[in-house]
Structure formats: C-alpha cells, structure tokens
A and B are shown apart, each in its own frame.
Chain A
Amino acid sequence: MDKNKINMAYSKFVENRLPKTKFFPSLLWAFLVGGLICCIGQGISDALVAIFPSLSKDNVQAYTLIILIFLASFLTGLGVYDRIGAFAGAGSIVPITGFSNSIASPAVEFKNEGLIFGLCVKMFSVAGPVIVTGIVSSMLVGLIYYIVGLL
C-alpha cells in the first residue's frame, strides 16, 4: 500500500522532471543544428582544398571527418556537446560528430569505474552496434558485388 503510493509519487516526480520535448521546436532545432554542423564540415573541407590544393578528394573528406571528430570529442570532454544535444536531438546525433560523441561521452562518464571495464568497455555501448552493423553490411555488399562481377 504505502510502497504503491511512494512508487506513484515517484513516477509522477520523474515525469515532471523529464524534459518535455515539444514537437515542432525540436524539429526546428534538429534542422538548424544538423544543417550547421554540415556547413562547418563544408567550410573545413573548402579550407583544406584552399590550403593544400594537392590533396585528393578522398583525403580531403577523410581529414574533414577527422577534424570534425576531434572537435566533437573535445567539446564532449568539456561537457558542451551534451548540452547542445539536449535541445538539438537528432541534429547532434546523426552527423559524424554524434558518432564521435557517442564514444567520448560514456568514456568520460565511466572513467571512474576503471580504465578497462569502465572507459574501454562503455566506449562502445553505442558505437559498437554502429561498427558491427557497418562491418557486416559492408561484407554483404562486397559479397554481392563479387558475385555480380562473376556473372
């Protein structure tokens, strides 16, 4: 009886504390932040082409992603990226910076639980599925491509 009351009160408390996601503002923020991150990427890419004209297109793209990932891990370490994520939602998840954040954020958070079982294990709680799916699906595409090439 008493326990039930406490549980009900607690769920009510949790519900009140949960951030209310309003539909349209959250869409707008996702659009704006996502678009902005892509524009930053385009800016880095254009700057690289201007400074190092000899870089190949693929290498420019690789360096662009590395710089974006560096910035995102750094901002995650500072605690800034997660604060952006609180209102930007998918706008901060879907760009490659979100992938970087998904690795750096648990790494920072679980560091205290030990280097191996805290940091190293928790690092891949989100990135693990992404990398596993990526490897398996790329193998599948490679296999299909190989078989089609044989025909």
Chain B
Amino acid sequence: MPKLNPPEAKTNSPGSNTLIQIESLSLHYGESKALKNISLTLGEKVVTAFIGPSGCGKSTLLRCLNRMNDLIDNVRIEGSCKIGGHDIYSPDVDVIELRKRVGMVFQKSNPFPKSIYENVAYGLHLHGSKSKPEIAAVVEQSLRSAALWDEVKDRLHASALGLSGGQQQRLCIARAIAIKPEIILMDEPASALDPLATARIEELILELKKDFTIVIVTHNMQQAARISDQTAFFYIGELIEFDSTAKIFTNPAKKQTEDYVTGRFG
C-alpha cells in the first residue's frame, strides 16, 4: 500500500520540521480587524488545536492557510504566512496548487450530491488523474484511511447524501485526503455529530496524524485535550497562548487561558 504522505516528507520525529510559519499576520474585514498580529509556527505531522470563544478569529486564521478568505469581499491581509518556506500570499502563488496541498474539512459535512465514489474521485479528476484503475485504487485507499470503506464498499455508486451525518463527515475526510495534501484543516469537524460519530472522527484524526499535518478548530475542550499535540488559544483576534496541549490544559502561563480551559468563561 503506497504511503499517503508526499515524498519529500522525511522520517524525522513529529514536529521537528517547521511546515507552517505565520508571521505578524493581521486580517481586516472592511474596517474591523479580525486577526491582530498573529505569529505562530507549526511543525510537520503534528495535530494543532485552535481553541477560543466564538468570534475569536480561530476559524478565520484556519481559512487563511488555504486562502479560503479570498472568496470574501473586502478582506485585507497583512504579514506573511509561509508553508514549506513559500509565502502563500505572494503574487506568484497558484491558489489551486496551494489548495491541493492544504485540504479542508468543514464544520457541516458537505458531500457533493453525487455518488460516494464520485465524491472521492472528484479531486483526482480535478488534478488530472485519468486512468480508471488508478483512480479506483486511490478511492479505495482513501475510504479505508477514513475508516469508511467497510461501510460503503457495497454501495460506492449510491448517492453520498444517503449516508448518516458521521459517515458523510468521514467521506469528506476521505475526499480531502484522496488528493494527498500535506496539511488538513478541520473546522469544527465533529460539532454537528453525536458522541459516537465524534469518537470515530477523533480516532481517525489520531490515525491520520501519522501521514498528515492537521490543524483543527474546536469548541470542545476535551476534544482538543484528547487529540492535539499543541494548542493555540485565541481571544478577540489575538493569539493569547500557544504551547503543548499538556501545558495549556494543566499549567497555562496566562490567566485568560486558564479561565477558558477550566470553563470559567467562553
């Protein structure tokens, strides 16, 4: 079985190579400033959780990493965000190539109204895969990696909308990993799911971190504590604290962080 990770990824220990480097990044929606001077460095093959109360900018920052904010009018970005050493906001960057390297899973599962197979194969078609056996192999492998294969292998050509919410979300993960990105962004991927489906997604994330760098936005403190290696706490557009998850949850440096993770506000 071929490995999902890109060939340049070496077998260094997780987090030893810097992959994402955000430097004094600010983002404005028209007049209002949504992100204030954020600097953050994320290593390869680690799971980073972004936590913070609603409106703190964690989702906005996540969407900066694959330039999904480009779709909104009146957005202005200052500072730099480098992935693998290249500033993704420099004019010569191909957004399509960037999004191929930085996949995304959304809060609400959003499979296309197509068959399960076509959902996973769509990204492959987009990026030029032609040969049918090759596509079929990648589809199977992606569905296996997303822990969905056994449940859908007999109805690959049935509509994806016939799946349950948790299955749909795992299908979206399979769709994202089919094009072999380096980074997977997850925007509250389990917030619309029941506890059992959530548990399956969390197991899956722990499994996927062997091959991918994962950034996850979550409102669920326990979830962040369970699955992430590092945690960043945001409050009203500012990065308050960024450290190993163990430190943030047991011995945070800032009072605000402590208040939030212990549930005193937010």
A is bound by B? no
Please give the residue numbers on chain B whose beta carbons come within 8 Å of chain A beta carbons, in ascending order.
none
Please give the residue numbers on chain A whose beta carbons come within 8 Å of chain B beta carbons, in ascending order.
none
